[in-house]
């Protein structure tokens, strides 16, 4: 039972309760208005009926009394046979009419505060006793007093006193009064007929009870209908929608049957159900697309990772680079800003006495640059192996690159060939950054070498070789523009001056230490700023034939 | 970067402001593609250009190649840092640079 009740309570949630409270309040108000209006009109109608009856009885009785005799009775204090006959007649009228009390009085005309009973008859049902002739008592209240006076002074032909409020010793009653006039037209006495209004209360309360009963029945019906209606048209669909929404949130799978199949409301609920259906469809579609996109992204990422690995495996990264060659030490590193970069370096021995080194930077970044870099690197390596001079190598490479370069890509290259036995470095520069050279015992300085155009820009461009003689202990440092153009959060660049400063801080360091040091100087400079360019460096230390 | 142009018959002057780098170069490339087909004289004004990256050089190279076929191209009001970039990359050899 408790379970059913709590279940019901759950279903009769706030919406139901709120709407029921409103309806019940309206019904109660309506009932109150009907009751009050009914009560009033019942009272008025009954009162009128009692008054009519009372006046009719009074008229009948008045015709039986000879008013001219009354002063003589009162004066003498004695009654006669005619009096007794009249009294007998009045008793019959009283009994037959349904009146409780029928009497004739003479008020004390000085202030009307005392009355003297002339005739006094009571109904046998009333249980009252008659007053004796000549009985005097105080006027009951101001209402009676005023009306006695009005009747005596001829201001009205009949008066009515209603006693249905406040404390009344007997039942509620109504008293009709008519003046008894002598042959001269003057009022000699007042005839009063009193009716008990015992039925008034029972009829009025009966009405109220009926109205209340009807109200209760209507209320129960309204509550049942409303609960049913709300449940069927509002709560059940909402419950269904809520269940479906939480199911969908948990499973992320469209329902087998759309909500609009079971919820056919043409109202906001129906619209809501339709919206939930559409939302589920769209979310599912979205999830599907997202899954595809994510899979695609993962695939691309996997390929990029593979590309990164292929690209980095293209660059020699085994150090020491030439174990057993004591005449020189070399170190290089490439750090792409994205997964793949456009920078590259290479070094290899052309023969026992000639070491080729190159560093290059392809225009642009990312995959296009990486693809172009691969091609350029292979071309350059092939050309370099032919034993030509750097300028000639660059000229040939430019020619090869320009042949199939529809996208106007280009690559800047610095290429040097060291004659290991003499320390003579022959180099050429195709639009690449200036090398920094540190002669034995000196410090690093930017070497403003002769520049040619980048490779791939224009066919037939010529380059010039230049020579630097490296004494044992000399170093040469080449780099791509990612180093001097590393940018901090305030958009200022690392620059050549800071590079030279960093290079000169550890003059006796090995090429590997130099690269590490420059890299940390760049990192300190840019701090948290994201870098957009690849960072590539190569450093050679020429030691000469120190050992044989 | 902002691009402003001034056109007089077959001459087009392009004023660049800001940084011509990887991010802004495609914008300039797209911008020029639709405008220089009928042009005989293309002028770049670099007075307010702060920086040019290799991607920007690529756009200039493409424009230079096209203008070699249909007219002439001039780069003017080149600041010292950008002049330096042109020198290093050898672009000063293929571009017509007016100080």
Q: Do B93 and A430 touch (CB under 8 A)?
A: no
Shortest CB distance from A453 goes to which of B54, B62, B93?
B93
> Distance (Å, rounded) from C-alpha A281 to C-alpha A285?
6
Per-residue model confidence as pLDDT tens digits over A183-225: 888 888 999 999 888 777 777 788 888 888 988 898 888 888 8
The domain tally of chain B equals 1
Q: Of A202, A224, A239, which residue is a domain's last?
A: A202
Mean pLDDT of A265-289: 88
Q: Do A453 and B21 touch (CB under 8 A)?
A: no
CATH number at residue B32: 3.30.750.24
Q: What is the pLDDT of residue A547?
A: 46
- Compare A16 and B75 and report the one with higher pLDDT: B75
Q: Do A453 and B91 touch (CB under 8 A)?
A: yes
For strand A187-196 and strand A101-107, is the pairing parallel, antiparallel, or unpaired? antiparallel
Mean pLDDT of A94-105: 89
At residue A513, φ and ψ (nearest 5 deg) are -65, -35
* Co-location of A343 and A195 in the same domain: no
Mean pLDDT of A325-353: 88
At residue A362, φ and ψ (nearest 5 deg) are -85, 145
A515 confidence band (pLDDT: 50, 70, 90): very high
Domain range for residue B50?
Answer: 2-98
Domain-located, residue A366:
yes
Domain-located, residue A246:
no
pLDDT reading at A464 higher than 50: yes
pLDDT reading at A419 higher than 90: yes
Contact of A520 with A351, CB cutoff 8 Å: no
- Compare A262 and A295 and report the one with higher pLDDT: A295
Distance from CA of B21 to the nearest CA of A (A): 9
Q: What is the pLDDT of residue A41?
A: 85
Q: Is B29 on the interface with A (CB under 8 A)?
A: no
Q: Which residue of A has its CA nearest to B52?
A: A485
Shortest CB distance from A457 goes to which of B55, B61, B87?
B61
Q: What's the number of CA atoms in the CB half-sphere (13 Å) around residue A367?
A: 7
Distance from CA of A485 to the nearest CA of B (A): 10
pLDDT reading at A448 higher than 70: yes
Q: What is the pLDDT of residue A291?
A: 92
Domain-located, residue A219:
no
Q: Do B89 and A409 touch (CB under 8 A)?
A: no
Mean pLDDT of A47-71: 89
Distance from CA of B55 to the nearest CA of A (A): 5
* Co-location of A349 and A297 in the same domain: no
* Co-location of A326 and A301 in the same domain: no
Q: What is the pLDDT of residue A470?
A: 93
Which residues in chain B have Cβ-Cβ distances shorter than 8 Å to A409? 58
Provide the ipTM: 0.85
> Distance (Å, rounded) from C-alpha A379 to C-alpha A376?
5
* Co-location of A144 and A277 in the same domain: no
Per-residue model confidence as pLDDT tens digits over A349-388: 999 999 999 999 988 778 888 889 898 999 999 998 888 9
Domain range for residue A450?
Answer: 316-542
The domain tally of chain A equals 3
Q: What is the pLDDT of residue A13?
A: 62
pLDDT reading at A429 higher than 70: yes
Which range (A43-57, A232-246, A382-396) has the least confidence? A232-246
* Co-location of A126 and A257 in the same domain: no
For strand B97-98 and strand B72-76, is the pairing parallel, antiparallel, or unpaired? parallel
Q: Is B84 on the interface with A (CB under 8 A)?
A: no
Domain-located, residue A228:
no
Distance from CA of B17 to the nearest CA of A (A): 16
* Distance, first Cα to last Cα, chain A: 107
pLDDT reading at A338 higher than 70: yes
Shortest CB distance from B22 goes to which of A364, A432, A481?
A364
Mean of the per-residue pLDDT values for chain A?
Answer: 87
Mean of the per-residue pLDDT values for chain B?
Answer: 89
Q: Which residues pair with B74 in a beta bridge?
A: B43
Q: What is the DSSP letter of A232?
A: I
Mean pLDDT of A110-122: 91
Q: Is B68 on the interface with A (CB under 8 A)?
A: no
Q: What is the pLDDT of residue A389?
A: 94
C-beta neighbour count of A390 within 10 angstroms: 27
* Co-location of A324 and A308 in the same domain: no
- Compare A207 and B97 and report the one with higher pLDDT: B97
Domain-located, residue A306:
yes
CATH number at residue A517: 3.60.40.10
Contact of B73 with B44, CB cutoff 8 Å: yes
Which range (A14-18, A366-370, A435-439, B75-79) has the least confidence? A14-18
Of A496, A548, A490, give the one whose Cα is nearest residue A522.
A496
Q: What is the pLDDT of residue A521?
A: 93
Q: Is B87 on the interface with A (CB under 8 A)?
A: yes
A502 confidence band (pLDDT: 50, 70, 90): very high
A9 confidence band (pLDDT: 50, 70, 90): low
pLDDT reading at A8 higher than 60: no
Per-residue model confidence as pLDDT tens digits over B24-71: 888 899 988 888 888 899 999 999 998 888 888 989 999 998 999 989
Q: Which residue of A has its CA nearest to B88?
A: A431
> Distance (Å, rounded) from C-alpha A174 to C-alpha A199?
12
Per-residue model confidence as pLDDT tens digits over A465-474: 999 999 999 9
Q: Which residue of A has its CA nearest to B55?
A: A364
Distance from CA of B52 to the nearest CA of A (A): 11
Q: Of A263, A285, A314, which residue is a domain's last?
A: A314
Class of residue A504 by CB neighbours under 10 A (exposed 0-12, middle 13-18, buried 19+): middle
Q: Do B54 and A361 touch (CB under 8 A)?
A: yes
* Co-location of A165 and A184 in the same domain: yes
CA A382 to chain centre: 68
Mean pLDDT of A264-274: 84
Contact of B20 with B56, CB cutoff 8 Å: yes
Q: Can you tell me which residue has the tokens 């249909």?
A: B70
A346 confidence band (pLDDT: 50, 70, 90): very high
Per-residue model confidence as pLDDT tens digits over A284-305: 899 999 999 999 999 999 988 8
Q: Can you tell me which residue has the tokens 């370096």?
A: A345
Q: What is the pLDDT of residue A548?
A: 43
């Amino acid at each position: 039972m408790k379970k059913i009740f709590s279940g019901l309570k759950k279903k009769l949630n706030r919406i139901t309760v709120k709407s029921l409270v409103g309806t019940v309040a309206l019904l109660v108000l309506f009932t109150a208005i009907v009751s009050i209006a009914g009560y009033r009109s019942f009272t008025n109608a009954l009162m009128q009926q009692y008054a009519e009856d009372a006046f009719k009885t009074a008229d009948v009785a008045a015709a039986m009394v000879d008013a001219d005799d009354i002063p003589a009775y009162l004066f003498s204090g004695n009654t006669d046979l005619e009096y007794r006959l009249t009294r007998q007649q009045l008793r019959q009228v009283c009994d037959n009419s349904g009146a409780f009390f029928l009497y004739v009085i003479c008020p004390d005309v000085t202030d009307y505060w005392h009355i003297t009973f002339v005739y006094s008859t009571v109904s046998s049902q009333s249980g009252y006793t008659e007053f004796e002739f000549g009985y005097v008592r105080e006027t009951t209240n101001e209402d009676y007093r005023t009306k006695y006076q009005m009747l005596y002074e001829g201001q009205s032909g009949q008066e009515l006193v209603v006693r249905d409020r406040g404390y009344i010793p007997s039942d509620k009653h109504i008293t009709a009064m008519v003046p008894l006039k002598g042959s001269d037209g003057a009022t000699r006495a007042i005839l009063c007929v009193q009716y008990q209004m015992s039925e008034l209360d029972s009829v009025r309360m009966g009405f109220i009870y009926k109205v209340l009963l009807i109200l209760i029945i209507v209320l129960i019906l309204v509550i049942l209908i409303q609960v049913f209606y709300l449940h069927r048209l509002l709560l059940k669909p909402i419950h269904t929608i809520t269940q479906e929404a939480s199911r969908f949130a948990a499973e992320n799978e469209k329902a087998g049957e759309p909500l609009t199949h079971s919820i056919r409301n043409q109202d906001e609920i129906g619209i809501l159900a339709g919206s939930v259906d559409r939302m589920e469809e769209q979310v599912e579609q979205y999830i599907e697309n997202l899954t595809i996109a994510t899979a695609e992204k993962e695939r691309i990422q996997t390929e990029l990772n593979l590309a990164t690995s292929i690209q980095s495996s293209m660059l020699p990264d085994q150090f020491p680079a030439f174990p057993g060659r004591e005449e020189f030490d070399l170190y290089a590193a490439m750090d792409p800003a994205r997964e793949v970069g456009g920078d590259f370096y290479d070094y290899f021995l052309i023969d026992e006495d000639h070491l080729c080194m190159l560093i290059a930077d392809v225009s642009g970044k990312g995959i296009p640059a990486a693809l172009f870099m691969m091609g350029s690197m292979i071309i350059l390596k092939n050309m370099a192996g032919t034993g030509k001079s750097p300028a000639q190598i660059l000229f040939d490479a430019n020619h090869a690159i320009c042949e199939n370069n529809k996208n106007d890509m280009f690559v800047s290259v610095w290429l040097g060939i060291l004659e290991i036995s003499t320390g003579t470095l022959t180099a050429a520069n195709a639009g690449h950054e200036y090398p920094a050279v540190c002669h034995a015992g000196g410090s690093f300085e930017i070497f403003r070498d002769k520049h040619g155009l980048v490779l791939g820009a224009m066919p037939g461009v010529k380059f010039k070789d230049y020579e630097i003689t490296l004494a044992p202990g000399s170093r040469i440092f080449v780099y791509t523009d990612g180093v001097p153009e590393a940018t901090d959060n305030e958009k200022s660049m690392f620059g050549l001056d800071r590079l030279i400063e960093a290079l000169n801080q550890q003059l006796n360091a090995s090429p590997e230490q130099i690269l590490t040091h420059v890299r940390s100087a760049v990192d300190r400079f840019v701090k948290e700023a994201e870098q957009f360019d690849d960072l590539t460096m190569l450093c050679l230390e020429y030691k000469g034939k120190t050992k044989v | 970067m902002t691009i402003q142009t001034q056109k007089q018959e077959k001459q087009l002057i392009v004023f660049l402001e800001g940084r011509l780098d990887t991010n802004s170069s495609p914008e300039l490339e797209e911008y020029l593609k639709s405008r220089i087909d009928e042009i005989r004289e293309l002028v770049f004004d670099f007075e307010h250009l702060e920086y040019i990256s290799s991607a920007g050089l690529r756009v200039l190279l493409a424009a230079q190649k096209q203008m070699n076929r249909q007219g002439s191209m001039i780069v003017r009001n080149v600041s010292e840092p950008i002049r330096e970039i042109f020198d290093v990359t050898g672009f000063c050899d293929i571009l017509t640079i007016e100080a």
